[in-house]
Amino acid sequence: MDASDGGSYGTPGVNVEGNQSKQSVTVHYAYNDQGQMVKTGGRIKDLGNTEGGTYGVGTMWSSDAFGNVTDGTIRQDYDIMNNQAKLVSNRTDTYSVSASGVSSYEDPGANWEGTKSKQSVTVIYGYYTASGSCVEPRCACRRDEERDWFRDDVDGGLAWERDERNDRPDVQHY
């Protein structure tokens, strides 16, 4: 951040390379009639007691020293384990924004060089069912869309295979 002002969410500080960034994520927790947190089929109190499930949504924004702007959306899915919300996936979709500001993930804008870009990254987290603890300290994975499997590329120690019965990753050591 810029040492002179520190920045704020509304006006992010500038780092030594001239970049700025910010993101915001809100998690909405759903509860059943007995007051237990639920993944689906509950009521979300902070959204006026509407029906739904536990999830997170957000946005991100960044700008580099050349004025190239990137916007994005964040979607988080949760499972409920031991009455705690556990993050099971985080998807971030980012895209370049044109100088006019008219852009979307489906139709990215051109930056000052005339190039357009977009990226979708999904991180999958695995947990032990009994304890609710994370399978590995580094649960970052990439998804292979063609084969529908997950691999931990950090240390090469785990692969997640899609479990068709409950649509959750099963941990496979290799």
Residue 165 lies in a domain: yes
CB atoms within 10 A of CB 106: 8
* Band of residue 156 on the pLDDT scale cut at 50, 70, 90: very low
- Do 106 and 33 share a domain, yes or no? yes
Note the pLDDT of residue 135: 65
Q: Which residues contact 28 (CB under 8 A, 6 or more apart)?
A: 44, 46, 47, 52, 54, 55, 56, 57
Task: Look at residue 97 and tell me whether its pLDDT is greater than 70.
Answer: yes
Domain that holds residue 56: 23-124
- What does residue 49 show for φ and ψ, rounded to 5 degrees? 65, 30
Task: Look at residue 25 and tell me whether its pLDDT is greater than 80.
Answer: yes
Q: How far apart are CA 102 and CA 110, in angstroms?
A: 10
The predicted model scores a pTM of: 0.72
DSSP letter assigned to residue 142: E
* Band of residue 130 on the pLDDT scale cut at 50, 70, 90: low
Amino acid code (one letter) for 156: G
Residue 47, SS3 per DSSP: helix
What average pLDDT does the segment 56-72 reach? 95
- pLDDT exceeding 70 applies to what percent of the chain? 70
Residue 9 lies in a domain: no
**Whole-number mean pLDDT of the chain?**
78
What average pLDDT does the segment 18-30 reach? 95
- Do 38 and 118 share a domain, yes or no? yes
- Do 102 and 119 share a domain, yes or no? yes
Task: Look at residue 90 and tell me whether its pLDDT is greater than 50.
Answer: yes
- Do 74 and 119 share a domain, yes or no? yes
| 8-12, 69-73, 82-86, 170-174, range with greatest mean pLDDT | 69-73
- Do 73 and 140 share a domain, yes or no? no
